Structures are given as structure tokens and as C-alpha cells.
Amino acid sequence: MKAAYGGIEAGGTKFVCAVGTGPDDIRAEIRLPTESPETTLGKVIDFFRQQQEHHEIAAIGVASFGPVDPDPDSPTFGFITNTPKPGWANTPVAPTLKDAFDIPIGFDTDVNVAALGEHSWGAARQVDTFVYLTIGTGIGGGGMVNGQLIHGLIHPEMGHIAIPHDWDRDPFAGTCPFHGDCWEGLANGPALEARWGQPGELLPPAHEAWSLEAHYLALGVTSIMMILSPQLVVMGGGVMEQEHIFPLIHHEVKSLLNGYIQSPTVLEGLDGYIVPPALGGRSGALGAIALAERAHRAS
Ligand code: ZN
């Protein structure tokens, strides 16, 4: 049997570990609650050690919550850096795996890796400049420009852009510990729940919460469209599982653009332009396998 890759979706509430080569070849998968770094990474290492008895694992890819250091030339490459998540600041995730397995380790942000998954097997196969947004506990954005995952000074932090906040329409102050009413602070899952007194999945589709949520999401997406000119916008995460919000976002974005972007893709309608992830909740774990394959090829 040909060699497999390990993929890790390292999230703030759970870690998903998988072994395989793609969506049609997942040979093993496990979900672990995110506990302390020592406990969680210990269980991750145990899982892949057991899997190595059955499969040759050529490399491991990690899709990590952040902020992270994704720069391979940095002494802290593969670290989760200044996260507010208790116990996880300055955690050497990739170095710990490298020490345990001595195989190539790919490491990037959860959203960049999910973008890679969608580019490899999902909604973004036909494009090379696009964004992947997750709207959940936080708001994160990653993606590709000309076929390269986006890095720079560190990595994009699209969730923390400033958007207009009409305090009369929405007196809620926002949830972001750094900025209050940035995009994430106004439109993440916890903001929905705090503003309306119940979580998004319990708010009925006709609730006024959704028109405000769509308005905020559309403001952020429109800014990203103006800056990056993506050929596609993929929107995943827990809030977007309420799929009735997509048509509201399409409507709001169209109205905000006001005919300015003269691309047939946008002028013909946004149904095929702002879309859910084709891999559903599996973009991260599958993207991590694609990232491992890249790390293996590069080594
Ligand atoms: Zn913020």
C-alpha cells in the first residue's frame, strides 16, 4: 500500500487527526478534546504511533488555531504564539511532532489549510486566487493568491478588520478582547449569542438576528473583495451552517458593491461566488493531509 500522510486539525475545542491521502482514502481518524498542550499533543503522538504500525506515514500537516508562526526560517516556526487560550501561548506544536516522528511537518493556520483542502478537492479547485473564511467562535480568513497560500508579516487576520458599526441599530459593544467591535467582535458566534440571548442554531431563520448578521458579514466580505479581488469566497464555520444566511449575504454584498465590480462572475449573481465549503466540516483535516503531501514533496 502506498504511503499515507497524517493530518491534524488543531482547534481550540477539539483536535481531529487523520491518516490517508485524500477524501476517498481516509484510513483512520480520531477526535480529541483540546486539553492542556502536554495532554493533547501526547494523545496526538500516541495516535500516530499506533497508526505507524499499519501505515507508512511520510509527513504530517497541521492546521492550527492561532495566532501562529508559519515562517519556516523563524526560530519559533510551528509555534502557537500569543493565543488568549489558557495554557497554549508559546506552544511548540510542529517542533514537538518533529521530535517525536522525525518526518517532514507542514504547519499553517487553520484557515489557510482549509483553503488548501478546498483547492485540492473542494469548491476552489478551479481558481488560484480566493479566500476561505470561517465564521464561528472567531472569524478567520486565509486563502491563496496566484496559487500560493497567503503569508506575509505573519499571516492574514481578516477577522479583525474594522467595519462600520451603527450603534443605534446595534448597541452591542462587541466581543473582541483586543478591539471590541471589530468584524469578529460584532459577527462571531459568541456575539450572536450575547446580543440575542441564544445561540445561532436556536435562532429561527426569520429572526431579525440574521439580517444584521448578514449585513456585518457582507461588509467584511466586500472589503476583502476590494483588497484581494478573489475569484471565489468560501464561507464555513459554525455560524454558516445556518445556510439560509447565504442568500441574505448575496443580497447585501450586491447592494454594497452597487455595480462597481464589472466581472461577469459578480454581475451574474453571487450564488456561485460566495459559497459554502464543498468539503463541509472536513476542509481542515483534509487540507492538513494536502499540506503534509506538500511538505513531503518539498523535503
Ligand atoms: Zn478584533
What proportion of the chain, given as a percentage, has pLDDT over 70?
A: 100
pLDDT recorded at residue 119: 98
Q: Do domains 4-110+281-298 and 123-276 have the same CATH topology?
A: yes
Rounded CA separation 181/172 (Å): 8
Burial class (CB in 10 A: 0-12, 13-18, 19+), 252: buried
Across the range 276-289, mean pLDDT stands at: 96
Residue 268 — pLDDT band, cuts 50, 70, 90? Answer: confident
- For CA atoms 5, 144, 13, 97, give the dihedral sign: positive
Domain extents in the chain: 4-110+281-298, 123-276
| Distance from residue 99's CA to the centre of ligand 1 (Å) | 34
Task: Give whole-number Cα distances, 32 to 91, 151, 190, in Å.
Answer: 18, 28, 23
What proportion of the chain, given as a percentage, has pLDDT over 90?
A: 95
| Distance from residue 69's CA to the centre of ligand 1 (Å) | 19
| Distance from residue 138's CA to the centre of ligand 1 (Å) | 9
Residue type, position 191, single letter: A
| Distance from residue 80's CA to the centre of ligand 1 (Å) | 18
The region, left, alpha or beta by phi > 0 then psi within -120 to 50, assigned to residue 164 is beta
| Distance from residue 185's CA to the centre of ligand 1 (Å) | 6
pLDDT recorded at residue 248: 98
* Continuous H helices in the chain: 37-52, 93-101, 110-121, 183-187, 189-196, 208-228, 245-257, 264-267, 283-298
Query: Each residue of 72-105: pLDDT tens digit?
Result: 999 999 999 988 889 999 999 999 999 999 999 9
Query: Would the pLDDT of 228 be above 70?
Result: yes
Q: What are the residues whose beta carbon lies below 5 Å from ligand 1 (ion)?
A: 160, 176, 178-179, 182
Task: Give whole-number Cα distances, 171 to 168, 191, 204, 285, 287, in Å.
Answer: 6, 12, 21, 38, 39
Residue 112 — pLDDT band, cuts 50, 70, 90? Answer: very high
Query: Would the pLDDT of 219 be above 90?
Result: yes
Q: Which residues are CB-neighbours of 50 under 8 A, at least 6 positions away?
A: none
Rounded CA separation 109/80 (Å): 10
CATH superfamily, domain at 123-276:
ATPase, nucleotide binding domain (3.30.420.40)
Between 3.40.50.720, 3.10.310.10, 3.90.1150.10, 3.30.420.40, what CATH number should domain 4-110+281-298 receive? 3.30.420.40
Query: Would the pLDDT of 1 be above 80?
Result: no
| Distance from residue 188's CA to the centre of ligand 1 (Å) | 10
Across the range 147-161, mean pLDDT stands at: 95
Query: Each residue of 231-246: pLDDT tens digit?
Result: 999 999 999 999 999 9
| Distance from residue 15's CA to the centre of ligand 1 (Å) | 24
139 C-beta neighbours (distance < 10 Å), count: 29
Query: Would the pLDDT of 144 be above 70?
Result: yes
Across the range 19-26, mean pLDDT stands at: 97
| Distance from residue 130's CA to the centre of ligand 1 (Å) | 22
Residue-averaged pLDDT of the chain: 96
Going by the DSSP 8-state scheme, the letter that residue 151 receives in this structure is -
Across the range 161-177, mean pLDDT stands at: 97
pLDDT recorded at residue 85: 87
pLDDT recorded at residue 269: 87
